[in-house]
Amino acid sequence: MDLAALQQLLAALPSGRVACVGDLMVDRFVYGDVSRVSPEAPIPVLARTRELVMLGAAGNVARNVAALGGSVALIGVVGGDAEGSEALRLVGQESGVEGFLVHDLSRPTTLKTRFVSGGQQLLRVDLEESRPVEGECEQRLVRTIRDVADGVGVILVSDYGKGVVTPAVIAACREASASGAKVIVDSKARSFARYGEVDIIKPNSAELAYATEMPTSTDEEVEAALIRALELCEARSVLVTRAAKGMSLAVRGEPVRHFQGTPKAVFDASGAGDTTLAALGLALAASSSIEAAIGMGLLASGVAVGKVGTATVSPDELMEAALSAHLAPAEAKIATPQRMIEEVARWRAKGLRVGFTNGCFDVLHRGHVAYLNQARGWCDRLIVGLNSDRSVRALKGEGRPVNDLESRALVLAGLGSVDLVVPFDEDTPIKLIEAARPDVLVKGADYTEAEVVGAREVRSWGGDVKLASLVEGYSTTAAIARMTGTN
């Protein structure tokens, strides 16, 4: 997506107002470490370390709309149980989300509990009841939709098949289109026909295959399935999300169009479809074109899959993702301290060992390459703290550095042994070390451990300090002397 167009769209998002209607869930993530198998059965024993609780499904869509800067009305159903109270508390904590939740004391609040270790889900336990809402509960939902829909640009319907999206609820959403609101449905249903003349139905490729009984692996297969989907329903268009392959859009009377995304490392796909729906809907509510809305949806989903749990995405993260997509791989490794903290959190959640080293790396030579390779061998991800030009001068004197910060950073980032380069302007890297809290701190063997900045701190949180061997006869000073003929 063009950067200028994205900036313009992000600036317009606060003008968008959206209603989210559908199945509301509470997502609970239980994280821990697995180091042994139970003596009672051949199953892993999870030593619980922390727990996260957040809104899921329609609630997660609403959270993402608010995180992107829009205002959102959340309409759904909760039970009279502890999970229902938790859902109400979570809605109250979300700035920008206005809750219109209907109580149904005859059913539990949907709860999904995921047990996670080393970045992998071990088990999911669901507490739910999927029968359709009815009677007074359904009538209250319909009345609420009619009251809230006035003034919204888009109504997002999250149909997870838990019973909230009944024919009467769908009809109430469609009625709002008479006042100009677009209706977009995120459907898990077998039949798209149940939604009638909505603007967009947004399945993923597996859901499209399920609804049409057709394969959806290739572009050609997706095109055929989309055409079939339009034959089976009255929707004006069907937009299928295809993970790393992007999205494909079928509009009645037009050829199918494919929109390519940027492949991302997938850490946790939980809620990524909700994020896509939120970005798409809010962009359209802010009067963007469908092409721009899809572009923002692709960016948002790419950010979301790199986060833990049912995560939200901010405008700053979208802009950073767009900038990264325009950078060469080496440039994308150069990071701010804040981005370093976020990357370290993602690495740690995946159970990866994080290493840190630092230096001026003014004239890169064989000794540096060997040193960084050795450092990378002690960890899964290596961060290099890089002295700014000012701090190099403070350490080495006038005439240094020979190469400026940008040049030094790009050369370091081009090495396969380096995962992140973080410039710093202070005389020592202690602030970066304390922010990253590395598992291993590396310096050259020309230091003693007592001389290594940050060694005491790294030892205090259980990390290791390693002294890497140096290649004889190679140093920056010697290299400069050879170049200038002063040796």
Q: Select which of 23, 104, 268, 274 is catalytic.
A: 274
Instruction: Give the per-residue pLDDT at 357.
Output: 97
Task: Note the pLDDT tens digit of each residue in 230-284.
Answer: 999 999 999 999 988 999 999 999 999 999 876 555 445 566 889 999 999 999 9
CA–CA–CA angle 251, 256, 258 (5° rounding) = 120
Instruction: Work out the average pLDDT over 131-144.
Output: 96
132 in Cβ contact with 166 (< 8 Å): yes
Instruction: Give the per-residue pLDDT at 478.
Output: 52
385 in Cβ contact with 357 (< 8 Å): yes
pLDDT at 459 over 70: yes
368 in Cβ contact with 361 (< 8 Å): yes
How crowded is residue 178: how many other Cβ atoms within 10 Å of its Cβ? 8
pLDDT band at 207 (very low <50, low <70, confident <90, very high): very high
Identify the CA nearest to 271 among candidates 27, 6, 13: 27
Distance, in Å, from the CA atom of 32 to the CA atom of 17, rounded to the nearest integer, reads: 39
Most confident segment among 223-237, 383-397, 459-473: 223-237
Q: What is the DSSP letter of 14?
A: G
Identify the CA nearest to 396 among candidates 370, 431, 361, 429: 361
Instruction: Give the per-residue pLDDT at 331.
Output: 82
pLDDT at 457 over 90: yes
Q: What is the DSSP letter of 15?
A: G
Instruction: Give the per-residue pLDDT at 474.
Output: 54
Mean pLDDT of the chain: 90
First to last CA, the chain: 53
Identify the CA nearest to 351 among candidates 308, 301, 302, 413: 308
Distance, in Å, from the CA atom of 322 to the CA atom of 303, rounded to the nearest integer, reads: 10
Q: Which residues contact 459 (CB under 8 A, 6 or more apart)?
A: 465
pLDDT at 326 over 70: no
Check if 274 is active-site.
Answer: yes
Task: Supply 417's token pair.
Answer: 């042994």
List residues bridging with 280 in a β-sheet.
none
- Could you check whether the bond before residue 401 is cis, i.e. omega within 30 degrees of 0? yes
Task: Note the pLDDT tens digit of each residue in 4-35.
Answer: 788 899 999 999 999 999 999 999 999 999 99
Instruction: Give the per-residue pLDDT at 249.
Output: 98
- Continuous segment of H or E residues that includes residue 29: strand 24-37
Task: Note the pLDDT tens digit of each residue in 400-434.
Answer: 888 888 889 999 999 999 999 999 999 899 999 99
- The b-or-e profile of 179-199 (16+ CB within 10 A means b, else e) is eebbbbbbbbbeebeebbebb
The more confident residue out of 16 and 477 is: 16
Q: Which residues contact 485 (CB under 8 A, 6 or more apart)?
A: none
Is pTM beyond 0.85 here? no
pLDDT band at 446 (very low <50, low <70, confident <90, very high): confident
pLDDT-wise least confident of 70-84, 86-100, 391-405: 391-405
Task: Supply 96's token pair.
Answer: 């920008």
Task: Supply 364's token pair.
Answer: 């890169």
Instruction: Give the per-residue pLDDT at 244.
Output: 86
Distance, in Å, from the CA atom of 213 to the CA atom of 225, rounded to the nearest integer, reads: 8
Instruction: Give the per-residue pLDDT at 4.
Output: 75
Distance, in Å, from the CA atom of 237 to the CA atom of 64, rounded to the nearest integer, reads: 23
Distance, in Å, from the CA atom of 361 to the CA atom of 375, rounded to the nearest integer, reads: 15
Distance, in Å, from the CA atom of 427 to the CA atom of 387, rounded to the nearest integer, reads: 8
Task: Note the pLDDT tens digit of each residue in 116-133.
Answer: 998 788 999 999 999 999
Task: Supply 276's token pair.
Answer: 């896509």
pLDDT at 215 over 80: yes
Q: In this prediction, what percent of the chain has a pLDDT beyond 70?
A: 93
Q: In this prediction, what percent of the chain has a pLDDT beyond 90?
A: 72
Helix (H, G, I), strand (E, B) or coil at 407: helix
Distance, in Å, from the CA atom of 374 to the CA atom of 440, rounded to the nearest integer, reads: 12
Unique residue bearing structure tokens 């290594």: 452
249 in Cβ contact with 210 (< 8 Å): no
Distance, in Å, from the CA atom of 199 to the CA atom of 281, rounded to the nearest integer, reads: 11
Task: Note the pLDDT tens digit of each residue in 103-120.
Answer: 999 999 999 999 999 878
pLDDT at 298 over 60: yes
Task: Note the pLDDT tens digit of each residue in 42-72.
Answer: 999 999 999 999 999 999 999 999 999 999 9
